[in-house]
Amino acid sequence: MDKCLYRWFIKQRERNYPINALALKEKAKEIHLKLKEKDSAFNASDGWLQGFKKRFGIRLLKISGEKLSSQPQLVDPFKATLKAKIEEMGLCHDQLYNADESGLFWKILPDKSYVSSAEKSAPGMKTEKQRITFLCCANASENHNLKLLVIGKARNQRVFKNFNCPTEYTSSKSLWMTSTIFRDWFHKSFVPQVKIFLMWQNRHNF
């Protein structure tokens, strides 16, 4: 089984396909099932994977990516300012919300891959750049998660026809969050949802 798996692994790497631990484990179970080896309890454990990598000289390399820069010196001053404002307004955790946006390249491949001992680098394939932007929002007490806001390119998604979408959806040619989109979301989605939640919590000071 190990030899068959290694041959498959080498073929995938020759095509510059990224291979991670999950891919190796799933392929190992698939090959084991086909070969019908005696050990029917084989489940491709982490221990087996470590042994497999050691036997064939497989190691993990990063394909691409950069570490994000940060400014840790600004964290403590912000925390102090936020704490003072919360105390000044007399807010509880149910009334404290945090929203943050992120991008999702929903067709992108992993940026790390196991490689053979003969490979000095891990060349990849052209990155698929189809993406969406989404906005998450929840309160500090973890009692209220608002509907996810998804920003796509198409104004009217065909897949949403006759479908009750569980998220908020809007469109932008650039796929980025804009001040107009955020303002509409705040007044038309955030405020109504929070009012309903706080009324349900028997709090009316929002």
pTM for the model stands at 0.52
Structure tokens belonging to residue 174:
């650039």
8 A C-beta contact, residue 27 and residue 43: no
Question: Which domain does 148 fall in, by range?
Answer: 91-200
Per the CB < 8 A criterion, the answer to whether 132 and 175 are in contact is yes
Report the distance separating Cα 74 and Cα 141, nearest Å: 24
**Residue 41 DSSP label:** T
Q: Which pair of structure tokens corresponds to residue 81?
A: 């300012």
Are residues 194 and 100 part of one domain?
yes
Residue 67: the pLDDT is: 44
Q: Answer yes or no: do 138 and 195 share one domain.
A: yes
Terminal-to-terminal C-alpha distance of the chain: 63
* Residue 154: inside a domain: yes
pLDDT score recorded for residue 63: 65
pLDDT, averaged in runs of 10, over the chain (206 residues): 92 83 89 75 88 90 55 84 93 93 78 76 67 92 93 76 81 84 94 93 59
**The two structure tokens encoding residue 53:** 């990598």
